[in-house]
Structure formats: C-alpha cells, structure tokens
Structure 1
Amino acid sequence: MDFKQFVGVLRRRWLNVVAIIAVSLSVASLLVFVVATPKYQSKSTVFLSVDVRDTTDAITALYFAQTRAAAYADLASSEELSHRVIDALDLDMTPAQLSSAVSAKVVETTSLIELTVTDTSARDAQTINDVLTDQFTRYISELETPGGSSSGEPSQVTAQVTDKASYQPSQVSPRIALTLVVAGIIGLLLGIALALARELLDRTIRTADHVSEITDAPVLASVGFDNDMGTAPLLTDLGGFAARTEAFRLLRTNLQFIDLDNQPRCLVITSAVPGEGKTMTATNLAVALAQTGRNTLIIDADLRRPRVATTLGLDPAIGLTTALIGRTEIHDAIQVHEPSGLHVLASGAKPPNPTEILQSRITQDLFNRLRASYDIVIIDAPPLLPVADTSVLATLCDGVIVVVRHAATTRDQVAEAVNRITQVGGRLYGVVVNMVAKRAIGSYYYYYYEETAPAGKNSSAGGRRRL
C-alpha cells in the first residue's frame, strides 16, 4: 500500500479513527477525573557535611560524604523512621504505608539528599515532610554519634536542612494534560490500525480499482446516494441539473461508445444479489434514453419480483406473461409512460416456472420482434446469483450491465456474477456503481453538478402503444 492508498483509506475510514480517539480520550478522562485520586508532593533537602579533622583532606571528605549520603537515602523510607513520624503526628497509617509515600535520592555529584513525600493532600504532604526531615536529621546524628546520643564525641557526619518542606498546590498525579495527549496519540494509532484492518478485511466494492480487479469491463457510471429516492425515484421527478439526472446522462452517453461498429440495441440490466438498485437503474436509464427521442422499450423480465410497472405508476397485471400465453396481444400489453414517452412491457402475472418461460422459443421470438421494432430495448432482469433467469436472458441480448451497490456488494459476489455471464457466452458491457456516498464519488472518477433547478412532480401513467 503506497501513501496515496493510505490516505484514501483514512478518507474512507475517518469515522473509525475519530471514534477510537474519542473512546481513548473518554477512558483517559474517566481515569483522570473519576477513578484516579489526585496526589500532591512536598520536597525538602538535607545536606551532609564531614568534619575534615577526621579525614586526610577535603577530597576524601567529599567522597566520604557522598558515600554516606547514598546509604542514608535508603534509610529515609525505613520502618524505624516511619514509626517516629507516625508517633510524632499521630497518623492513622502503618509504617509500610508511610514508607511507600516517602522517597529519597542523592543529588548527583553532591552530598545533598532530596526527600519527597506524596499524599492526597498538599498540606498533609508538607506537614509529614517537615516532621520527616526533622526526624531524619536526628536519626543521622544518632547513628553518627559514637556510643549513642549520650556520648560527648562529635559526629563524623553532620546533617543540616537546606530546603524546608515545600508546599506545592499543583497535583503531580494524575498529570491531566499529559495523560490526555498520550491517550489521544494511542487512540490515533489504534484508529489507524483499525481503519487499515477493516480496509484489508473489507471485500465490498468501494473504488473503481476494486472493479478492475474483477473484470476488464469499465465502470460506466456511478450513481450517488440520494435521500429523495423514496419520494422522487424517477428522472422525470427531478430537475435537469440534479446529480442523479447527470449520472444517468453520463451512463446514456457512455453506452454510445461501448461498441462503435455494432451499437447495442438490447441490454440486460441485472445485479449480483437483490437490493442493489438494478430496477431503478434500468428504469431511469430507459427514461434517459427515451428523453432523447429514441424509441425505447423497457421489459420487466423479473418474473419473480417485478417492480418496473409499479415504479412508473403503470398497471403490472398485463404484460410479458399474459402476451406469451396468448391472453392479450403484445401491442395491447405495451403501455406508455407519458412524462418520458417510454414504452413499458410489464411482467404480467407471476408464473410458477420463470426460468422455463424465459428459455422457451416463443419468448426468444418475441424478444427478436421487439428488438426489431425499437431503437433500444432495456430488460430488467433478476439478480444473477439467486436464480438462473438472467443467464438465459444474457444469451438473447447484445450485452449485460451489472449494477453493484457501493460498500455493500462484495467483490466475490461480483466475480461470481461476471463468471456466470461469461459461462453462457454473454457479454459484459460494464458496471454501474449505485448508492455511492458523496465523499466516495471521486473514487469512480465521475463528478456531478449540484442541483440548481427545481424538481418537477409529474410521473403519472399514460396510455398504450400498438406495434
């Protein structure tokens, strides 16, 4: 994956990254502001000096003092010293608890010992450190006095307080700003990792490159997701500059360049699985072709779940099946969608054996007659994977257009659909990617105008046409 692809993944999966960052910051905030107990520190400094009369020179005395300082620093958290502080302040804690709150370190290359006391109260930390420092210097004096404190011998090492216990009102733990920054960075890294993992595991169609991995057939158009699809499904319901209208104009135009030597006159519109929007694509493509003045017919060959007539506001009861069984003449079965001038052959009554009907000789003859009577015939076919109907239709027409749903149809499903078309000797003209999110339109290299004209509402039904 190169940098451009990486950026593309982040653009498509930015919600995942933001969500993980938000979760990380929320957890960190919970720990900082609710779970964690604020801690405060007080510091003091003790200086150890050596009586040079007992040493050979000052350098040796300094080394001796530094050595003693390292040893006495460990005594700062001793149980004996903790007992003395607890007794002096009458603290309600054990020596082990106090020892864990006390730390001491020797300032590098010196004989200074820095004492630190941590507590949940800044004032208590200062008070404890003040008493600790006092007891610490006395404890050193006792240890350095030969024969105990009652002896008259001077001590070899003297402890003096240079910095008294400080009062620091700012908490040292938890460090809110640092914690939130670290949580944000961790969330960012986890979010990017999740985005990359989902991208690698995601097998749905999201870009034109995904289509090209499956077939050499081009992406003929990408139709953006439209919230108005439910109330204005047809191009005749939209303004001339609507994004969906422009998408089908592009599809209509691209059909002219599919085969310059043999312009297609009969097209099957299908999908891999149900719910991809193939009926709306077939219907609107037919409307777009009819609006140019071409003599266009759409046939609802989805004999299992017919929807073309209902979408156009026409009668679905009379159509293909009623004409095939001789209950009505074909010219009486064809209806006209007045707003667009599109001719419509509905499915008619649902048969118990759709595949056998489509395979029959009478159906092939009817399709050949219709193909010869119109400039172009659009056939709305069932999905390829669930049933074999479309494989039959693919052999009766010039070519097939497969509709896939952006971020829903998997590459495996599309690959299997393409394989079924090629197995029967059908020709795949191209792919239409449907319901594309606005931010992903550029992934298919098509750009649409914003709608600037008011939409019309005139999708009423019309009469019928005779052959």
Structure 2
Amino acid sequence: MEFRELLRMVQRRWLTVVVFFLLALIGTGVVTYAMTPKYESTARIYVTAEVSGDISAASAANYLAIQRVQSYAELAHSREVLQRVISRLKLDTSPAALDAKISSRVTDLTVIIEITARDPSAAQAQEIAKAESEVLAEYLTEIETPFGKTSSPIKATIVDPASYNGEQVSPQPVLNLLIAAIIGLVLGIGMALVRDLLDQTVSSTEDVEKTLDTPVLATIQYESDVPKHPLLTEAASHSSRVEAFRLLRTNLQFLDIDTRPRSLVITSAIPSEGKTSTATNLAIALAQTGLRVLLVDGDLRRPKVASLLGLERSVGLTTVLVGRSELQDSIQKHTDSGIFFLASGPIPPNPTEVLQSRAAQELFDRVSQMFDMVIIDGPPLLPVSDAAIMARDVDGAILVVRHGKTTKDQLRQAALRLAQVDANLLGVTVNMTPKRGGKSYGYGYGYGYGPEKQKS
C-alpha cells in the first residue's frame, strides 16, 4: 500500500483510529492514577582486591575481583543478605517481598556494584538501600575470608552512600501517556487497515470502477437536512447536493449524443440506498432545464414518491393498465418543481405480472413519446425482478449504490440481473457519500407488502 493510499484509508477509518487512540490514553491514565508512587535510592559499592606481595599476586587478586564482581552483585538477592537487612531495619516483610524492591547491577567495564531500592516512601527507600549496601559489603568480606584467616583478599567499599530522592520515579504520567498515544495510534491504524481490507462495501468511485465496467455518473454527498428537506426545490442553489444532481443531469445528457436516452429506470441493489430521492431529484434537475419530465412511481410494492411529493397515489400506473382511468387524467403536476407525475396507483397482488404485461410495455412506449424524459422509480433489483423487467422496456437504467452499505458482490449481482434481461446499464450513482469527518445517514426502507412507514 502506498503512503497516499494509507492516508486515504486513515481518512475513511478515522473513527477507528480515534477510538483506539482515546482508549489507549484513557486506559493508561486510569492505570497510572491507580498506581502507587515509588521513590528510589541508590548506593554504590567498589570492590577491590587487597594488594600485598609481588606484582603477580596483585594482578591475580585484581583478576579475581573482576571475574567475581557479577556474582557479588547477585548475592544482593540472596536470602541471607535479605534476612540480615530485615533484621537490621526490623521490617515486617519477607525476603521475597524485600527482594522485589531491590535491584543490583555491575556498572559496565568496572568493579562497581550499584544497589537500588524502591519504596512508596522516599525515606524508607533510602533506609533499605543503605542497609542493603552495608550488609552486602560485610557479607562479601565474610565469605571471601579464607578458612583460618582473619582477613579477606576482597575489599568492598561503599563509595556512594544511599541517596535521598524526593521525586517519584514511577509512575511517570507524561511518559506513560506519550507511549500510550503512540501505541494507540499504531493499533488504531492497524485495526483501520484490517477493517479496510476486510470491508467489501462500496466506499469510493474506484470501488465501483474496479467492480463494474460502468461509469460513475455522480456522487451525492450527505447533507444533514435531507430527511427534513429531501427535494432539490427545498435546498440552497449552491449546496453540494444540488451541484451533484446538476452533474448527474449533465453526464446523463452526454452519455450518447446520437441516441440520448429518453426513458430510464432508477433502481438499486438492495433497499435503503436512496433510489427514490435520487429518481425524484434527477427529474426535478432535468425539469429545471426546461424539459417536460414525467416521473413514474414504478415501485408497485412499496411506493414512496407520492408521499415525497405530497401528491395523490390512489390513481396512477395500475389504474391505467387495468383501464380504470385514462393516462392523461392520471398524470399529476408538481407545482413547485414543474415535473409531471404518474403515481403507482393501488398496490396489485401480482406486481411482476403487471409489469411484464404488454399493456405496461405499450404504456412506457407511449409516455416516452409524450415527454422529453421519463424517469421511473423502480424497486431494488435483488429482492424482486420488477426493476429489471422495466429496465428492459426503456432506454436504460441507473444503479444507485449507497456509500459504506452496498457491497461489491451486491453491486455485481445487481448489474448481472440487468444484463440477464439485456437491459442497458447507463451508469452508477454513489449516494450518501460522507463529508470529510462526516457520518453516513440513511432512510428506513422495509421491503415487501404492507403499509408505508418511512420515506426512502
């Protein structure tokens, strides 16, 4: 993955990165606050060999001290030394508990042993380091004294008495939070990368182009007031949504200059992708250029357009097809937008059979001759075959996909449904794309037979 792609991925998954970053900071902050402060005291012991006699004997003694100094440091943790420290300080603890407070090391390339004690009390830490260094120095002299001798060839001298440090050495809030921030960012970016690799939803125009050999006609951005004001006539003329539909209108007009489509179906792979609002607003955008546009509610299962426009639904497509009303009398006009509208009419028990009828095909041919452009709002492709049937009888279809919801497999399956009936897929519109740092939204859309509940 290139750096630019990584940045785009982080931008798409910014919430995941932020969540892990904050969790790391909060978790570390809580743990740091709950930790008992520790203070530290350090003493240093210098180990030498007693020099007496000739030079060779002195060299041998020094070599002995250098070879054994690491072992001497380890003796600081021996039970005997620890028990003597406990007795000297009259501590109410065990050798194992005291050992957890003490560390010892040999300074590199020297014969200096550094004893460090940590304790919740700075004064107690100093007392422990002092007693530990004194006991260890005495113990080294004791164990290195040969049997029958009164002196040891090894001399342990405390060169730095136990220090007093009133500043706590742990926890270190600033350092801990800095490390937590780095770890949180790394984990967040890693998790975001995993989610991005596993995510099969359409999240960019590149995803559409890689999945289908079909152009993206427009991307329609999220705007928070859409649920309350879904129509273009209610939006500001300079809004991003209005500009998106103008772009969709322009791209649609230039798809094929010689045979410009005069009738098309707006559909989607699955419910809740915003196809109804897309169909309605595309019709409005086309009407704003002076074209005579007819919007047909071709969803004979869950019709939504009439309620979206505030028009009558009881007379329309189905009443015309069964001869209960005349086409001219069934077409309404939406005053605010200037579009003409043919509602769905009563919901039939057999929508697929109704749309497959010769009467439906003749009706679509007829309205295509009456108007400059006919836009049909069809149902989703994957749950039912209605939209594919209508797309076969008109000039083409536009597939609406919802950013972050429609999967690539659903997109492929929807395109396949159209191809199986030789319908012309004109292009794809990506709907509800988020702004930078924005959140996606959706319209509720339950599918099947039953009463209307929400707008789509």
Counterpart contact for 1:317–1:348, Cα < 8 Å: yes
Partner residue, 1:230: 227
Distance 2:194 2:68 in 1: 57
- 1:286/1:440 Cα in 2 relative to 1: closer, same or farther (>3 Å)? farther
- 1:60/1:308 Cα in 2 relative to 1: closer, same or farther (>3 Å)? same
Partner residue, 1:73: 73
Code of the residue aligned with 1:177 in structure 2: it is: V
Distance 1:313 1:71 in 2: 91
Deviations 1:172-212 (CA, angstroms, capped at 9, x unpaired): 33343333333222222221111111111111111111111
- Confirm whether residue 174 of structure 1 aligns to residue 193 of structure 2: no
Deviations 1:318-338 (CA, angstroms, capped at 9, x unpaired): 111111222211111011111
Code of the residue aligned with 1:63 in structure 2: it is: Y
- 1:83/1:333 Cα in 2 relative to 1: closer, same or farther (>3 Å)? same
After superposing on structure 2, the runs of 4+ consecutive aligned residues of structure 1 that deviate more than 4 Å are 144-148
Deviation of 1:132 after TM superposition, in Å, equals 2.3
Distance 2:272 2:288 in 1: 27
Distance 2:307 2:38 in 1: 71
Q: What SS is found at the alignment partner of 1:43?
A: strand
Partner residue, 2:453: none
Distance 1:183 1:108 in 2: 31
TM-score by length of 2: 0.90
Code of the residue aligned with 2:80 in structure 1: it is: E
Counterpart contact for 2:61–2:153, Cα < 8 Å: no
Distance 1:412 1:126 in 2: 69
Deviation of 1:436 after TM superposition, in Å, equals 1.0
Partner residue, 2:356: 359
Q: What SS is found at the alignment partner of 2:176?
A: helix
- Confirm whether residue 208 of structure 1 aligns to residue 213 of structure 2: no
Partner residue, 1:64: 64
Q: What SS is found at the alignment partner of 2:398?
A: strand
- Confirm whether residue 47 of structure 1 aligns to residue 27 of structure 2: no
**5 Å matches for 1:147-296?**
153-296=150-293
Counterpart contact for 1:54–1:156, Cα < 8 Å: no
Partner residue, 2:26: 26
- 1:73/1:392 Cα in 2 relative to 1: closer, same or farther (>3 Å)? closer
Structure 1: gaps of 5 or more residues: 442-467
Code of the residue aligned with 2:46 in structure 1: it is: F
- The two structures, once aligned, show a CA RMSD in angstroms of 2.0
- Confirm whether residue 435 of structure 1 aligns to residue 432 of structure 2: yes
Partner residue, 2:341: 344
Q: What SS is found at the alignment partner of 1:171?
A: coil
Code of the residue aligned with 2:229 in structure 1: it is: A
Deviations 1:97-146 (CA, angstroms, capped at 9, x unpaired): 22333333333333322222222222101012222223333333434555
Partner residue, 2:10: 10
Code of the residue aligned with 1:170 in structure 2: it is: E
Partner residue, 2:138: 138
Counterpart contact for 2:267–2:275, Cα < 8 Å: yes
Code of the residue aligned with 2:48 in structure 1: it is: S
Deviation of 1:410 after TM superposition, in Å, equals 0.9
Deviates more, 1:57-66 or 1:302-311: 57-66
Distance 2:227 2:234 in 1: 11
Code of the residue aligned with 2:206 in structure 1: it is: D
Deviation of 1:76 after TM superposition, in Å, equals 2.2
Deviations 1:59-116 (CA, angstroms, capped at 9, x unpaired): 3343233345344323222222222221121100112322333333333333322222
Distance 2:47 2:343 in 1: 103
Counterpart contact for 1:55–1:61, Cα < 8 Å: no
Distance 1:179 1:77 in 2: 29
Deviation of 1:421 after TM superposition, in Å, equals 0.5
- Confirm whether residue 421 of structure 1 aligns to residue 418 of structure 2: yes
Code of the residue aligned with 2:83 in structure 1: it is: H
Q: What SS is found at the alignment partner of 1:41?
A: strand
Code of the residue aligned with 2:393 in structure 1: it is: L
- 1:50/1:388 Cα in 2 relative to 1: closer, same or farther (>3 Å)? closer
Distance 2:231 2:108 in 1: 82
Counterpart contact for 1:118–1:125, Cα < 8 Å: yes
TM-score by length of 1: 0.88
Distance 2:72 2:435 in 1: 70
- 1:65/1:397 Cα in 2 relative to 1: closer, same or farther (>3 Å)? same
Distance 1:154 1:243 in 2: 93
Counterpart contact for 2:14–2:437, Cα < 8 Å: no
Deviations 1:199-252 (CA, angstroms, capped at 9, x unpaired): 111111111111112222211111111211122111111222222111111111
Distance 1:232 1:108 in 2: 75
Partner residue, 2:82: 82
Partner residue, 2:127: 127
Deviation of 1:37 after TM superposition, in Å, equals 3.0
Deviation of 1:277 after TM superposition, in Å, equals 0.8
Code of the residue aligned with 1:261 in structure 2: it is: D
Partner residue, 1:371: 368
Q: 1:300 aligns with which of 297, 300, 319?
A: 297
Question: Identical aligned pairs, as a percentage?
Answer: 48
Q: What SS is found at the alignment partner of 1:438?
A: coil
Deviations 1:405-430 (CA, angstroms, capped at 9, x unpaired): 11111111111110010110100000
Q: What SS is found at the alignment partner of 1:168?
A: coil
Q: What SS is found at the alignment partner of 2:109?
A: coil
Distance 2:31 2:114 in 1: 30
Partner residue, 1:393: 390
Distance 2:277 2:359 in 1: 28
Counterpart contact for 1:77–1:100, Cα < 8 Å: no
Structure 2: gaps of 5 or more residues: 439-456
Q: What SS is found at the alignment partner of 1:311?
A: helix
Counterpart contact for 1:28–1:179, Cα < 8 Å: yes
- 1:137/1:361 Cα in 2 relative to 1: closer, same or farther (>3 Å)? closer
Distance 1:307 1:348 in 2: 11
